[in-house]
């Protein structure tokens, strides 16, 4: 999508001085993309995981801060850091809300490539991710079916039973967060409409700025 050109020169964006040893290889996140984020926070209200959890690390701004920490050698690509990146739905609604034109999706794709390069996930997690990516996400029909199942799970009271039984405690990682996010899954089907609304607002503001400049 075409970005609004405010006629300002693009600065030579570089990271702070130091040793960038966290990311490596030709597919690593580029500094010119990574340090374009100015942490203004416009992305927060466009991010479903931030709205659900209220946690800075579950926002685009927070995830980019973690990328910078790894890039600058201040953080390792640890399970806790990777967990925050994994929670991203890659809906890219934040890109429409970003005044700096940060290509967040591009950054996240490069970061996940680095995670795959530098870490090895547990077997059960690899199996689940393979089923999710190769079976569910590849089929809109199966994706809608999953959304209906999760919607039933939420409204039937089974969620309360599962929590009180303690069965969620045996799940790996951030079980409670993952369960909460999964239960918002039916709402994500509305996200295309939300993105369309944001795009319309973006076009309206661009038109106003063009008229003011003429």
Give domain status of residue 106, yes or no: yes
Whether 112 and 161 share a structural domain: no
Whether 87 and 174 share a structural domain: no
Whether 101 and 161 share a structural domain: no
Give domain status of residue 111, yes or no: yes
Predicted local confidence at residue 18, as pLDDT? 45
DSSP SS3 for 214: coil
Domain of 67: which CATH number?
Answer: 1.10.1060
Predicted local confidence at residue 207, as pLDDT? 63
Whether 29 and 109 share a structural domain: yes
Give domain status of residue 105, yes or no: yes
pTM for this predicted structure:
0.59
Give domain status of residue 210, yes or no: no
Q: Which residue has the tokens 């946690």?
A: 55
78 in Cβ contact with 86 (< 8 Å): no
Domain range for 165: 154-183
Query: What is the domain count for the chain?
Result: 2
Tens of pLDDT along 21-73?
Answer: 578 877 888 888 999 999 999 999 999 999 988 999 999 999 999 999 999 88
Q: Which of 3, 104, 4 is nearest to 47 (CA)?
A: 104
158 DSSP assignment: H
Q: What is the largest CA-CA distance in the chain?
A: 65
Give domain status of residue 2, yes or no: no
Give domain status of residue 103, yes or no: yes
Give domain status of residue 53, yes or no: yes
Predicted local confidence at residue 164, as pLDDT? 72
Predicted local confidence at residue 47, as pLDDT? 94
Give domain status of residue 84, yes or no: yes
Q: Which of 43, 125, 138, 135 is nearest to 88 (CA)?
A: 43
Whether 46 and 116 share a structural domain: yes
Instruction: With a cut of 70, list the residues of the chain below it in pLDDT.
Output: 1-21, 133, 137-138, 159, 162-163, 166-214
183 in Cβ contact with 154 (< 8 Å): yes
Whether 86 and 162 share a structural domain: no
Q: Which of 59, 43, 47, 46 is nearest to 99 (CA)?
A: 43
Buried residues in 168-185 as b, exposed as e (16+ CB within 10 A): eeeeeebeebbbebebeb
99's tokens: 């005044």
Predicted local confidence at residue 8, as pLDDT? 34
């Amino acid at each position: 999508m075409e970005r609004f050109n405010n006629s300002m020169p693009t600065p030579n964006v570089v990271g702070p001085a130091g040793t960038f040893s966290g990311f490596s290889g030709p597919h690593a996140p580029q500094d010119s993309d990574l340090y374009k984020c100015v942490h203004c926070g416009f992305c927060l209200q466009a991010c479903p995981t931030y709205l659900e959890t209220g946690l800075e690390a579950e926002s685009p701004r927070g995830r980019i801060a973690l990328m910078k920490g790894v890039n600058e050698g201040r953080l390792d690509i640890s399970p806790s850091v990777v967990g925050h990146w994994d929670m991203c739905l890659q809906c890219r609604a934040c890109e429409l809300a970003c005044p700096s034109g940060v290509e967040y999706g591009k950054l996240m794709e490069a970061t996940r490539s680095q995670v795959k390069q530098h870490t090895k996930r547990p077997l059960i997690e690899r199996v689940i991710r393979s089923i999710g990516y190769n079976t569910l996400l590849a089929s809109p029909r199966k994706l809608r079916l999953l959304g209906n199942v999760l919607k039933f799970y939420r409204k039937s009271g089974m969620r309360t039973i599962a929590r009180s039984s303690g069965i969620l405690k045996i799940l790996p990682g951030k079980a409670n967060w993952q369960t909460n996010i999964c239960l918002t899954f039916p709402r994500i089907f509305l996200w295309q409409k939300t993105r369309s609304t944001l795009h319309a607002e973006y076009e309206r503001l661009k038109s106003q700025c063009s008229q003011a400049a003429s």
